[in-house]
Structure 1
Amino acid sequence: MRLLWGFLHVLCAVIAAVGVVFLGAGLKQLWRASRTQRWPTAPGKVISTDELMHLRKVPEGEGGGSRLLYEAQVHYEYTVGRVLIGSTRVRVTPSETSSEARSQATLARYPPGQELRVFYNPEDPTESVLEPGAHPLDFVRAGVGGTLVLVAGAAPLIARWFAARL
């Protein structure tokens, strides 16, 4: 029985460690995304748009094969001071998606020739976004990490509760 409890504690420690890594990375990503809302803006213009398709290999443990991902790429230019800067970044987080409709919706929001406000990092004006702030999918990594930490903390307690009932 001690061996089983030892295994359970080691397993929970590993799950908690993975959860802490995911939670830390997710919170860092959310912090970076929320920081963009305070960035100054500059006038900009959409130059062109493209929809890129990426074929990604799926690991064997997740079924293998490949997966098609779509990326809405918006080429825009903006001026900070007297410097003309070009970029393709819509959000802080990558814009790849498995949904072609979501990619098309992003492209539809930014037709070529459209004038817009570009949010840029005052410390590095070449870092910019069109859509500042955190978006719903940005919370996934932190949510998964938090869930793993909670499961790892609750599992030994639940196991002890069941063991006491036997």
Structure 2
Amino acid sequence: MRLLWGFIHVLCALLAAVGTVFLVVGLKEVWRASRTRRWPTAPGKVISTEELQHLRKVPSEEGGGTRLLYEALVHYEYTVGRVLIGSTRVRVSPTATGSEARSQAVLARYPPGQELRVFYNPGDPTESVLEPGAHPLDFLRAGVGGALLFMAVAAQFVVRWFSARL
């Protein structure tokens, strides 16, 4: 019986470690994305748009095979000082999605020729985004990490409760 409880404790520790890593990385991404709201802006113009399709392998644990992802690329140029810079980054987080409709919605917001405000990193003006701030999907990794960490802690309490009654 002690071996079983020991195994459960090790399993909970691993779950807590993975959850902590996901939580820290997720919060770091959210912080990085939210920081873009304070970046200065520069005038820009959409040059062209396109939708890329990627085939991604799905791990065998998730059923295997491949999955089609859609990515909206918005080619735009902006000027910082006297330097013309080009980019395709819409936001800090990746824009690849399994929904063609979401990808098309991004492309519809940025028709070629449209004048816009580009948010750029003052420390590295070549880093820019069109949609600053954290978006709902940016919180996903942090949420998964928090959930894993909660499950690990809750499982420890359940194990202690059961072991006290045996």
TM-score using structure 1 length: 0.97
Match of 1:51 in 2: 51
2-structure distance, mates of 1:142, 1:86: 31
Match of 2:157 in 1: 157
2-structure distance, mates of 1:103, 1:111: 13
Match of 2:28 in 1: 28
Following superposition, the deviation at residue 145 of structure 1 comes to 0.3
Kindly provide the amino acid, as one letter, of the partner of residue 157 in structure 1.
Answer: F
1-structure distance, mates of 2:54, 2:97: 10
Kindly provide the amino acid, as one letter, of the partner of residue 18 in structure 1.
Answer: V
Following superposition, the deviation at residue 110 of structure 1 comes to 0.2
2-structure distance, mates of 1:21, 1:112: 40
Match of 1:108 in 2: 108
Match of 2:129 in 1: 129
1:40-79 matches, within 5 Å, as 40-79=40-79
Following superposition, the deviation at residue 159 of structure 1 comes to 2.4
2-structure distance, mates of 1:140, 1:23: 9
1-structure distance, mates of 2:2, 2:29: 40
1-structure distance, mates of 2:156, 2:97: 37
Q: Which moved more, 1:83-92 or 1:153-162?
A: 153-162
Following superposition, the deviation at residue 62 of structure 1 comes to 1.2
Kindly provide the amino acid, as one letter, of the partner of residue 34 in structure 1.
Answer: S
What stretches of structure 1 of length at least 5 have no aligned partner?
none
What stretches of structure 2 of length at least 5 have no aligned partner?
none
Q: What RMSD over aligned residues (CA atoms) do the two structures have, in Å?
A: 0.9
2-structure distance, mates of 1:165, 1:12: 20
Following superposition, the deviation at residue 164 of structure 1 comes to 4.2
2-structure distance, mates of 1:98, 1:165: 48
Aligned-pair identity (%): 81
**C-alpha distance after superposition, 1:114-164 (max 9, x if no partner):** 000000000000000000000000000000001111110110211232444
1-structure distance, mates of 2:105, 2:18: 34
Query: After TM superposition, what 4+ stretches of structure 1 lie above 6 angstroms from structure 2?
Result: none
Match of 1:86 in 2: 86
What is the SS of the residue equivalent to 1:112? coil
Pair 1:119 & 2:81 matched: no
2-structure distance, mates of 1:60, 1:40: 45
Match of 2:139 in 1: 139
